[in-house]
Structures are given as structure tokens and as C-alpha cells.
Structure 1
Amino acid sequence: MNAVDFLEIMALVILFGLIFTKLSRIIKLPDVVMFIFAGFLLGPFCLNLVNIDKHPLAYELILTFGAAYILYDGGREIDFKVLRKVKWSVISLSTVGVIVSAFITGFFASKIFKMDFIYALLLGSVIASTDPSVLVPLFKNLNVDDKLKQTIISESAFNDAAGAIATFAVLNIITKGTFSLAQSIFDLIKTSIGGILIGAIVGYVASLLIAHEKYACFEEHPAEISIVAVAGAYVIATKLGVSGFMAVFVIGMVCGNKKMFGLFIPEQYYVTQTRFKEVMTLILRMMIFILLGTHINFPLLLRYWKESLFVVTALIFIARPISVFVSIIFDRKAEWTFKEIIYLMWVRETGVIPAALSGMLLTMKVPHADIISAVTFATIILTLTLQASSAKILAKLLKIDRPSMSN
């Protein structure tokens, strides 16, 4: 890819992103749904102005850094005091919840598509995780209780690792005929703890450099340091074989709670960083979901639309409620109310990571990869359209929303 091609893609994506952001406000749909539609218009199945398959490195760069920075932004929304109260629910939702969801969805997929259960389980594993790049911005605009908000955001950050490990574990059974429960558990623990340690170290060092009374040599550059910290931590974690996404989320948590360590950023620099972060996050979300939209194979979706609809329905109305119930029922410390549990059962948007996993399976020519891809994109479209757009309405119906500050 040359510089002109890359600039052309950047300009088209951001221009269409701005246009469809305006349209989303007019027709009251989540902007990510409109971004996906914009991507379809730009992509090879419609106008063919953007074909990212010809430039896989650029797509991987945008997807990786975009998801990492949005996760960092989500981490900044987490309050350690709140997280301590719900930590067992978050851990269980991110591990047990993913496994339960994968098995239940896989069971229904095997019956609906009449495929071997192992391939149906692979499908269930791919779409089992939720998407922080959707949920972080969504909950910034929702006035629900911090306990509920931070549980959903934290789950979406932590369950990506579990979803990916489950997918690769099932893939090993298919390709090599082997499975080790002990190895899978070890991989999950290593990936998670390694990412947490790297994120904690990098996050604390970054906070010192911008907010310490003595060591803040980059006090006036908090936005720039955040980019270095996110990119650097992701690279270090990936090279060490642990979760880069976990690392950047923890950086956000540390930076968002820096006052606990006696660290403060002067007001003028804090305002500059906040504005920069908001613009950067919006642009990255545009790019991620518009480019994701260019990948949607609508002929494939149309071929399997009926079966995909049944599988997604089972995921939303059966697998998710059961996985949430099993995951949080024994966490007495969290003190979940019935209304909060209902809300947790409903909110579970699918996005970037499942799309990347399904794309990988297509590249590897795994049997039934076309079906997995169709169901994955159907899940993305339906969960974003149905669940993300109704999250605010449901909060009001359940009376768990709080009055906005302006009131």
C-alpha cells in the first residue's frame, strides 16, 4: 500500500463516518450500526471505493490500535472502589459466562445447521465475547448505576481473552485432535495475569511522567503519553505472549484512578487530554466499524439469513440469560437486584474481536467457516441494532437510570 492509497481510505472513511454520524442522530440508531452500513456502501459489494482485502496490513493496524485505544478509554471509566465490589461477577462473566454461552449457542447451531457439534461449538466460541468498542461509548451516554455500568464494561474488556482462547482450543481439537483443559486454563491465567501486570507497570510509569510532583517531566503532554503507553504496552504484551488488550485496559484503569496514588494533572492539561481522547476515540470507532462493514459478505448473509437469525435469537434470549445467571448468582457481595440482572442479561453487543476471529477461520479454510462468518456478521448487525439501540429505553423501563446532571 502506498501513501496515496492510505490517505484516500482515511479521507473516505472519516468523511462517510461524519455523514453517517449525523444520520444516526436523525433516525435514532446507534452510530456503529450506521458505520457498518457506510462500510457496506464503500466496500467491494457496492461502490467498491474501499477494498481493504488488498491492504491487509493497513486494516490490521487500524483494527489493532483502534480496539486498544478504545479499551484504554474504557479502562479510564472504571472506579477501583466499585470494581472491588463486583470483581467476582466480572471474573465469572468473563470466563464461565463465555464457556456457557459458547456451549449453549453451539448446541442450537448444531441443530439448526445440522453440522457436527465441534464445528457448532467453534461458532459459539467465536461469538461468545462482547465488544468494548461498542459498550464503552454506549455507557458513557447512559446514566445507569456505576456498579452496573462498570461490570458490563469490564466484562467486555476481559472476556475477549477467554473468547479467543476458547476458539483456539476448539480449533486445536478440529485440526490436531487434541485438547488439554489444564493447558487452556493455564493459557487463560497466563494471558490475563501477564496483561494485567504489564498494564499496571506501564500505566503507573505513564502516570508518574504526567502527574507526579517531582517526576512529571511530560506534564504538558498527557495525550501524547497515552498513545505511547497504549502502543508500547500492546507491543510488549504481544511479544511476551500475553494479552495486549488486557494490558491497555489496565493502563486505562490505573490512569483513571491516579488520584488514589496521590497523582494529579493540572486542569488545563486534563481538559486538553479529554478533548483529544474524545476526538481520537470517535475517529477510531468510525474507522473500525466502517472497515468492518466493507468486509460484510451480504450474498453469504442472504444465503444463511434464516438459520443465522435462529442462532442469534438463541444467543440473545437463551444463552446470554443463562450465562449471566450462572455467573453472578453466587456473588452475594455484589448485591444484584432482579432489575439489574435483567439488564445484564440483555446488554451484550458483538463486534470487532468475533469479526476478526471469523475472518481468520475463513483464511484458514476451516470447514463451515462460511457459515460461521455469516452468523458472526448477523450477530453483529442484530445485537447492535436491537440491543445497543434499546439499552437506554430498557434502563428507563426498569427504572435503573439516574437523572442526568443537567436535571
Structure 2
Amino acid sequence: MNLYFALTILICLSAGFAYLNQRFLKLPFVIGLFILSTILSLFVISSKLWLTLPVEEIKTYIETANIDKIILNILLGFLLFAGALHTNWNNLKQQIRPIATFALGGVILSTIIISALFFGLTQLFHLDISFIYCLIFGALISPTDPIAVLGILTKANVPQKTEYTIVGESLFNDGVGVVVFIALLDTLNTGTFSFSHFGFLFVQEAVGGIIMGLIFGYFLHLLLKSVDHYETEILLTLAFVMAGYGMFNYFHVSGALAMVVMGLMVGNFKQDIAMSDTTQEYVHKFWELVDVVLNAILFILIAFVLIVIDFKTEYIFVGLISVLIVLLSRIIIVYLPHLAFPKLLKLTNKEAKIISWGGLRGGLSLALVLSLPDSETKNILLIATYFCVLFSIIIQGLTIEKLAK
């Protein structure tokens, strides 16, 4: 199956599922597509019992499709830029303290809590998993997914102040989570852990990504300012995202954080000077469309992961309990600073409840776990991650609006 044919299938499924959702289900876009894609995956898995579908061939193709690389190397850059472009920096600035607290300290603390509890869980089920893998699981599942959050919260009527906090956290904490994940994966490959090496990687990836995002964002601003032709300006934004994201990742600085910073700059820094009203409208509409189409493809890819999972009874129990561990960790990292430093975060108890429940996981976590070396441990972590994502998108995503009300 060539790339064009695979893309055709994804677009056709996206269009068909989007229509069914809008016509009949009327669920939030990403939730509707994820549920329908999951149903299709379950149909493919169960078809071997009553149909003659080439299930093993489908499974083999999905396994060799490198879904993790598609998400991490292609989709993530576009989606983060598009999400940041439509985000008002002034709104984020008002909640900078809770955003910084949850995006930095929250991810690190969550990684420690989840890894400790997950290690205890695996020991309870007599599963031979080293603690470094538990730390890796904590790192990949701790960041709230910006794609899932942006796609769901905008339709959930969450109070604006709370929405800004959750969206801002999700835009930045994935970069922190990826940096921690890379450092732990490097430790797994080398067999040694060094705090100095970890700190160097963090500075290189996170700080380097932010700096490069500022530099490229300002350069793009100057180019947009020098012309008044919306077709050219749209092409410039597209070129900077595609070339910049690939280049940053190649030189081992966080392309994710760079795209967030660049998107915020294009959408907020002297926008009226850089672009005419007509250009602003076309640029925002173009990236809004890119966001919708790629979101559709992403959540279909996430659901297709179900087909390649090798389920075992004890693994299913581990996956179910992992959901509770992740929820508990989320509650701790939100309420601990909220209760310890109430004047710093300035959150009410009601806002803390929504922020706790609004920590959605999505494609980023699955892409990271899929990038691990093949092993039985990877399969266990994949099942635990999938259960957390499934619960997060469907249960938390469908109930966040009711909780907000």
C-alpha cells in the first residue's frame, strides 16, 4: 500500500466519520471521530470470528506504518502551531503562574508519582518491568495533550479563566514531558543516569526550543510585515512550520516548544502591523482548516493502535488500574500547590476540580510509547497508555462540560 492510497483511506474515513458525527451523534469533533474509529478497530479485530477480512495483513501494515513517526515528526508541529496561533497571549499571561507551575513542576512531580505507583502495580501482578521503564511511562503519560485539550475544551463551555490555564499548560508541558522522556530513554540505552547529562538535555531541548521559536517567529514576523499578499504570507507560515520543525528536531532542540512560541508570536506580536485584515482572516482560516483535517487524521490513527495491541488478562487489569493512578497523580499535582501556595496560583476549589478533570491525554502519549524498542514491556506500557487515552478522551472529554456547569 503506497502513501497516497493510505492517505486516501484516512481522508475518506475522516470525511465519513465527520459526517456521521455531525449528522447523528453530534459529539465534539475529536471525540466523535475517536469513538467511530474505535468501533471500526473493534470490528476489524472481531471480524476474524465471523468474516474473512485479512486481519493479520491489516495489523502488519499498521505496525509498519510508523504511526509514532507520523504523529511526532509530521502532525505535531502543524497542530501545535495552529493551536498556538489561535491562542490569545494576553489571556495566557493572566494565568502564567499556574501554567508555569503545572507545565514544569507538575510534569516532573507527576512522572515521579506515576512511576512509583506503576512499579508497585507491576510487582503486584508479578510482571518483570524495571523501574526505568516505569519512569518512562510516567514521563510519557504525564503531559496533558494539547491537541486533545484544544479540540475538546473549546466546545465544552469551560469558564474562560480555567480554560486559559488548561490550554496554556497543555501547550507547554508536552515539551517538558518529551525532554524528560528523551533523557530517560537515553538512560535506558546507555545504562547510566547522570543529573548533569539530564540537565544539559533539558536546557538544550526546552530552553533551546523556546529561543529558536522566538528567533524564527520574529524573522517570520519581519517577512510577513514586508509584503501584503495573503497567498504569499500563508505559504511563508507553512514553510516556516515545515522546515523549522524538522530542523529543530534534527539539531535536538524541542520542535514542539518552538512551534508553540512561533505560533504565539505570529498570532499576537504586532499582528496588525505584520498582516492586513484580509491576510489575518485568510491565515487564521487556513490554519483552522489544517487543524481540523489533521485532528481528524490523528484521532483515527490513535484508534487504529487498538488493532496492533496484544491483550492479555493481567495486562488489561494493569491498564485499568493505570487510569486510576494517572487520575490520582493529576489530583495531587493540582491540589498540592493549590493548597500549599493559594496566593501564588489564585485558584478556587471549583477551578481546581475542573483543571484536575481537564488534564486530557491523547496522541502525544501514544506516539511516545510506540517509539520505544519492541519488547513485552513495551506491549504492557502500550496497553496502559491506550487505556488512559481511551478514558481521557471519551469519559473525561464527554463529562468536562457537565462538570463545568
Same-fold call, TM > 0.5? yes
Deviation string for 1:72-100 (max 9, x for gaps)? Answer: 12212333333333223222212221122
Whole-Å separation in 2 of the counterparts to 1:231 and 1:43 = 34
Q: Structure 1 vs Structure 2: percent identity of aligned residues?
A: 24
Is 1:85 the counterpart of 2:94? The answer is yes
| Whole-Å separation in 2 of the counterparts to 1:106 and 1:32 | 31
Q: Within 5 Å, give how 1:150-165 maps onto structure 2.
A: 150-165=164-179
The question of 1:16 aligning with 2:13 is answered yes
1:336 pairs with one of 330, 336, 347 = 347
- Is the 8 Å Cα contact of residues 209 and 217 (structure 1) preserved in structure 2? no
CA deviation after TM superposition for structure 1 residue 209, in Å: 2.5
Distance 2:160 2:358 in 1: 15
For 1:347-402, what per-residue CA distance to the aligned partner results, in whole angstroms no more than 9, with x for missing partners? Answer: 11112222122112243x3x622111110111111111111111222111xxxxxx
Q: Which amino acid aligns with 2:8?
A: A
Rate the CA distance shift 1:331–1:161 in 2: closer, same or farther, 3 A: farther
TM-score, normalization by structure 1: 0.85
Q: Which residue of 2 aligns with 1:148?
A: 162
Q: Which residue of 1 aligns with 2:80?
A: 71
1-structure distance, mates of 2:71, 2:122: 34
| Alpha-carbon displacement from aligned partner over 1:110-151 (angstroms, at most 9, x marks no partner) | 222215544323322221112111112223324434432222
Structure 2 residue 221 is the aligned partner of structure 1 residue 207: yes
2:282 to 258, 268, 272: 272
Conserved 8 A contact 1:230-1:248: yes
Contact 2:209 2:256 in 1 (8 A): yes
Contact in 1 for aligned 2:42/2:307 (Cα 8 Å): no
Q: Does residue 40 of the first structure (1) align with residue 41 of the second (2)? A: yes
Partner SS for 1:296: helix
- Per the alignment, residue 116 of structure 2 pairs with 107
**Structure 2 Cα separation of the partners of residues 217 and 177 of structure 1:** 54
Using the size of structure 2 for normalisation, the TM-score is: 0.85
State the match for 1:123 in structure 2. Answer: 137
Deviation, structure 1 residue 162: 2.2
Aligned-partner residue type, residue 205 of structure 1: F
State whether residues 152 and 344 of structure 1, in contact with CA within 8 Å, keep that contact through their aligned partners in structure 2: yes
Q: Distance in 2 between matches of 1:109 and 1:186?
A: 27
Count of residue pairs the alignment pairs up = 385
Equivalent residue for 2:318? 307
Counterpart residue type for residue 37 of structure 1: T
Q: Is the 8 A contact 2:179 2:205 kept in 1?
A: no
Q: For residues 36 and 247 of structure 1, do their structure 2 counterparts lie closer, same or farther at Cα, with a shift above 3 Å needed?
A: farther
Q: Once the 2 structures are TM-superposed, how far is the Cα of residue 61 of structure 1 from its aligned partner?
A: 4.2
Give the Cα separation in 1 of the matches to 2:199 and 2:95. 22
Aligned-residue CA RMSD in angstroms? 2.8
Quote the Cα distance in structure 2 between the aligned partners of 1:182 and 1:271: 47
2:44 & 2:282 partners in 1: Cα distance? 35
CA shift, 1:12, in A, is 1.3
Against the structure 1 CA distance between its residues 35 and 239, is the aligned structure 2 distance closer, same or farther, given a 3 Å change threshold? farther
CA distance in 2, matches of 1:239, 1:165: 14
Counterpart contact for 1:105–1:314, Cα < 8 Å: yes
Whole-angstrom distance in 2 between the partners of 1:269 and 1:28 = 32
Corresponding residue number in structure 2 for 1:284: 294
Write the letter of the residue equivalent to 2:210: I
Question: For the residues of structure 2 that align with 1:284 and 1:43, how far apart are their CA atoms?
Answer: 23
**Cα deviation 1:313-340 (Å, max 9, x = unaligned):** 1211x11010122355537354212211
Is the partner of 2:142 in helix, strand or coil?
coil
Map Cα deviations across residues 279-302 of structure 1 (whole Å, 9 max, x no partner).
211111122221232222465345
1:251 to 262, 270, 294: 262
Summarize the Cα distance change of 1:172–1:280 in structure 2 as closer, same or farther, 3 Å threshold: closer
Q: Which has the higher helix share?
A: 2
- The answer on 1:263 being equivalent to 2:273 is yes
The equivalent residue for 1:27 is 25
Give how far 1:345 is off: 0.8
Q: Which residue of 1 aligns with 2:366?
A: 355
Segment drifting more, 268-277 vs 228-237: 268-277
Distance (Å, rounded) in 2 between the aligned partners of 1:331 and 1:227: 42
Aligned-pair distance for 1:62? 5.7
